[in-house]
Amino acid sequence: MKIRTRFAPSPTGYMHVGNLRSAIFGYLVCKKENGDFILRIEDTDQTRTVPGATEFIYNTLKLCGLEIDEGPLNGGDYGPYIQSERLHIYDKYAKELVEKGGAYHCFCGEDRLEELRKEAELKKVPFLYDGHCRNLSKEEINEKIKNGEKFVIRQKIPKEGTTEYEDVVYGHMSFQNNLLEDQVLIKSDRYPTYNFANVIDDHLMDITHVIRGNEYLTATPKYNLLYDAFGFEKPTYIHLPWVVDENHKKLSKRHGAASFMDLYEAGYVPQGVVNYLTLLGWSPETTQEIFSLEELIQAFDPHRINKSPAVFDIKKLNWVNAHYIKKLSLDELYVITYPHLVREYGEIDEEWSKHLISIYQNHIHYGKEIVDVTKIFFTKEYNISDEAEEFLNEDKETVKKVLNQFETDINDLSDWSVEKITELIKEVGKKVEVKGKMLFMTIRIAVSGEMHGPELPDTIYLLGKEKVLENLKKI
């Protein structure tokens, strides 16, 4: 049997990293077995739908290298792939389930349900619908419908026994049926709930493995009872641990969690993000941490997914992403860094900026960081740290000798190039008979105010003669 997994997001805007991780895991599960990866848009909550979100989801997955085999924009044999275009299908199966005795019409209005919620709150027990409409006769139902009363269709959950299933990550799961609510399947606006539509769609689209967050662990018994009521074959379940922040609170788009596009626009490499997110809650058999997508496909084993919440650690993401930054061509690096420099400082000469960006390739973790590490080339401020001041005061006579000679020679330099500046520094050392740290560190501090940075000749070249001479006069 061919493995088929699906990624089924709601079209509500940017994709936060927890949602993207679910897509990645689903992709890896099916591609390891040469299966199909399906995109299905679950827009049953029309109030939250954002125009253009489907195209955005496609673009996000494409940037990450996750090829969609079937979906709304590229079609397939199991469409339509947008739930709002499948309403007739859900209506058909809902009616069938009512006829089978697995569901019923419920006419309870919001006022009555609110009273039940308040009662549950006073008793300090979870709210469960009390099944008030479970046993209405056909005559009563037809009369209410004839009178125009609004209704929903609810699942008729058995009130005895247990419902059990196996999960790849969490193992054997068992739930008492009397603690499961008669969930709504079709809302009063005739749209299906997620809980109903995803079961029908997964069956009709031949989904073999369902990969989703572990918040659905307790809902899965109700899904399985639907599968049983229809006589459908159940999929393999892989529930994923939450992705949490440093305070161990669940990452959520509604609560400002970082989205993939936030990271992308900050200059993170999509493949680096995919690499890092795969390591959130999953570990390979080896100590390897940097993977290509193909290597992840080969190494991925869902049985190695951890049950514990995975902490989104920006420092670890930066460490992983830095490996990808170092592998970029200069043109690729330019694309993810230059826009940030322009936003901060305005238009910059392309040749000069490429030189600047190139010498910081091994010093940054993501594109936007270029702004922080290159401030000395854009600011008029000149500050020397206490540590640098202490170094210059260790041997004032030598420092003075080096800087006097350097200022004379740099002032006379007509060919302003890294090569000529490199030669000049060596000549200064020979003339004053100083070498090593006392030569290079002295000049670095004097021209930049800093003790550390990229190669000294590059630093001098990028600062420019005018600024170098100006800084030397401040020593």
Distance CA 230, CA 95 (A): 12
253 is catalytic: yes
Q: Is 82 left (phi over 0), alpha (psi -120 to 50) or beta?
A: beta
Q: In the numeric block, which tokens belong to residue 223?
A: 């899904």
Residue whose entry in the numeric block shows the structure tokens 């018994």: 221
In whole angstroms, how far apart are CA 341 and each of 86, 106, 126, 433, 457? 47, 60, 54, 40, 22
29 close to 3: Cβ distance less than 8 angstroms:
yes
Q: In the numeric block, which tokens belong to residue 25?
A: 């895991």
The torsion angles phi and psi of 89, rounded to 5 degrees, stand at: -70, -45
106 close to 152: Cβ distance less than 8 angstroms:
yes
Q: How crowded is the C-beta side of 138, counted as CA atoms within 13 Å?
A: 3
3-state DSSP helix/strand/coil percent for the chain, to nearest 5? 50, 10, 35
410 close to 463: Cβ distance less than 8 angstroms:
no
Catalytic residue of the set 32, 150, 253, 354: 253
Distance CA 445, CA 295 (A): 45
Distance CA 353, CA 100 (A): 70
Could you tell me how many residues make up the chain? 475
The residues annotated as belonging to the active site are: 253
